[in-house]
Amino acid sequence: MHSANPATDFAVALLGEFVSRGVRDLVLSPGSRSQALALAAAEYERAGLIRLRVRIDERVSGFLALGLAVETRLPVLLVTTSGTAVANLHPAVLEAHHSGVPLILLTADRPGELRGIGSNQTTDQLDLFGGALRWSRDVEAPWKTAFDPDHPGELADEAFSAASGHSSLPGPVQLNIAFREPLSGRVDSLPETVTVGPPSPSHAPGTALAATPHSVVIAGHDAGPAAEQLARELAVPLIAELSRGARFGPNLVVGYRKLLADPEFGGRVSRAVVFGHPTLSREIPALLQRDDVEVLVVRSRAGEPYNPGHRARVVPGPIEISGAVDATPEAKTWLGSWIQASRQLLDDGNGATSGDRPGDFAREQLAAYREPVTRRMLVELVWRATWPHDRLVFGASRLIRVADALLAGKRIPVHANRGLAGIDGTIATGIGIALASQADPESSGAGGTTRVVLGDLAALHDAGAMLFGDGEERPRIQVIVGNDGGGTIFDGLEVAASAPAEPFDRVLYTPQQADLAALAAGYGWAYAAPTNRGELDEALATPDGPTVIEVRLPRD
């Protein structure tokens, strides 16, 4: 591999080292300072060695990479130029830090002699992300002279291991690379990418746990199937939030908020084993702060362990049960009472609609078809339409809470950016998940559709993510916008009752009347506006390329 340009040689060698370690996805935004990396990436794409995605907005690129990494669980490369371009990655970097998602930022920078002198597009790119990075390095791309052939491999090893969490937790890392002019040359050939495979992770021992009466397992965001398995093995209730990976199984308790607040149920809990990062209720943190509840938090991928009462024992997974599981009638009653109460809550909410006179059936069917869409109906129909080969992504809005409160268990992949629960980047994350799950014919998502369920403000916040440049792959994705004209999540807060209506609306509800049909058309997306149950069902069942499904919802 030779190009007459050391920066390009270095960029080609570096990307080759990442490919050799198993990196398959690279997202970039255009810029001059990063041209050697970008042109090298294009060559690797042409050679079929990486999947390249190009987005003009770095904030979108950041969340797109996050979605790709959430789905593949492999580090994704992110290439940007210098200056504000790097800062635009910050929201995705923070989310990746708080939810333990592996990202490798390759940020182009000016060399030392151009820093600190007011040079164009130059700022301090090293301390930008503070404690959110697992690892960072500032290196100079070679200039005039050849580089040590081992250097790119050493950098790739360190960056890949740190992002993957081989010695601590997975998350974002940054390799800041200073380039001098001439910034690139022609790429004549690519190196042989030998698969060296990733460095091997170290395995820490897990934790042994003895069964105790009146226990529950709590599965917050990203808890994964280990939570469900432990609840089953301990024969205790499973309180599982919607995302991700634990809301299924015989011990699942739906409507857990009501039960946790009930002295007969939540009031009697004496131990909680927590997986993942619970974010969707006040009742879970309230339980974990109680003096009479022993709290064990299983260390997750997230940058910070969940510990609302500052009194949890944080332990490493996996959890193994030591001794016998309590099989006394009391223990069975404990589990049985939660499951029964949970079923009751589910049934109460599903008001039966069957008539008993012959002839009613057709009329009922028609009436059901024409029923106007409510929040509850929206999340239920989406839940029903989604299968294990599909992917579901919830935005940070009222709808995830409605869904969490009443959807029954189902073993389907559900994601939400709950690391920081931002309303930013939801569409880009969904597109990343869609692209990654549909890219590989062998993947469980190969034939599926990704559905993103979010509010109107979250959708408008990330409208720029809808831009697919020429030639960019367009996945099967439905962006389902529950449009209630503003941020109605705030209507449920105490402030809605205390603040005067007009200023409340102006600064919290923030009303909007954007034309989503025109927006979809402008970005080349299909658009549907179902108004009733039948139309919504039909829209959901017609998977296609990128589609906006706008559902008008009343404010209250």
Ligand X SMILES: Cc1ncc(C[n+]2csc(CCOP(=O)(O)OP(=O)(O)O)c2C)c(N)n1
Using CB distances below 5 to 8 A depending on partner kind, what does residue 421 bind out of ligand X, Mg ion, none?
A: ligand X
In the complex, which residues of this chain contact ligand X (CB under 6 A)?
A: 396-399, 421-424, 454-458, 482, 484, 487-489
Using CB distances below 5 to 8 A depending on partner kind, what does residue 396 bind out of Mg ion, ligand X, none?
A: ligand X
Using CB distances below 5 to 8 A depending on partner kind, what does residue 423 bind out of Mg ion, ligand X, none?
A: ligand X
CA separation for the pair 166, 163 (Å, rounded): 8
Give the residue nearest to Mg ion (CB).
Answer: 455
Tell me if 29 sits within 8 A of 55, measured CB to CB.
yes
Give the E-state strand segments of 263-384 in sequence order: 271-275, 294-298, 313-315, 319-322
Tell me if 246 sits within 8 A of 267, measured CB to CB.
no
CA separation for the pair 344, 19 (Å, rounded): 53
Q: Which of 196, 193, 78, 64 is nearest to 129 (CA)?
A: 78
Tell me if 74 sits within 8 A of 24, measured CB to CB.
yes
CA separation for the pair 83, 128 (Å, rounded): 11
Q: Least separation, in Å, of the C-beta of 460 and Mg ion? A: 9
Using CB distances below 5 to 8 A depending on partner kind, what does residue 431 bind out of ligand X, Mg ion, none?
A: none
Q: Which of 57, 76, 78 is nearest to 68 (CA)?
A: 76
Using CB distances below 5 to 8 A depending on partner kind, what does residue 226 bind out of ligand X, Mg ion, none?
A: none
Closer CB to ligand X, 331 or 489, in the complex: 489
Q: Least separation, in Å, of the C-beta of 282 and Mg ion? A: 21
Closer CB to ligand X, 430 or 482, in the complex: 482
In the complex, which residues of this chain contact Mg ion (CB under 5 A)?
A: 455-456, 484
Closer CB to ligand X, 88 or 289, in the complex: 88
Closer CB to ligand X, 228 or 424, in the complex: 424
Closer CB to Mg ion, 284 or 480, in the complex: 480
Matching residue, tokens 């990063």: 34
Using CB distances below 5 to 8 A depending on partner kind, what does residue 422 bind out of Mg ion, ligand X, none?
A: ligand X
Q: Least separation, in Å, of the C-beta of 549 and ligand X? A: 15
Closer CB to ligand X, 93 or 458, in the complex: 458
Q: Least separation, in Å, of the C-beta of 391 and ligand X? A: 20
Closer CB to ligand X, 209 or 403, in the complex: 403
Residue 338 backbone dihedrals phi, psi, to 5 degrees? -65, -45
Residue 58 backbone dihedrals phi, psi, to 5 degrees? -65, -30
Using CB distances below 5 to 8 A depending on partner kind, what does residue 419 bind out of Mg ion, ligand X, none?
A: none
Q: Least separation, in Å, of the C-beta of 482 and ligand X? A: 6
CA separation for the pair 275, 257 (Å, rounded): 17
Q: Which strands sit side by side in the sheet containing 391-394, from one edge to the other?
A: 414-416, 391-394, 450-455, 477-483, 547-552, 526-528
Closer CB to Mg ion, 102 or 530, in the complex: 530
CA separation for the pair 87, 81 (Å, rounded): 10
Using CB distances below 5 to 8 A depending on partner kind, what does residue 153 bind out of ligand X, Mg ion, none?
A: none
Q: Least separation, in Å, of the C-beta of 461 and ligand X? A: 7
CA separation for the pair 37, 28 (Å, rounded): 9
Radius of gyration of the chain (CA): 25
Give the residue nearest to ligand X (CB).
Answer: 455
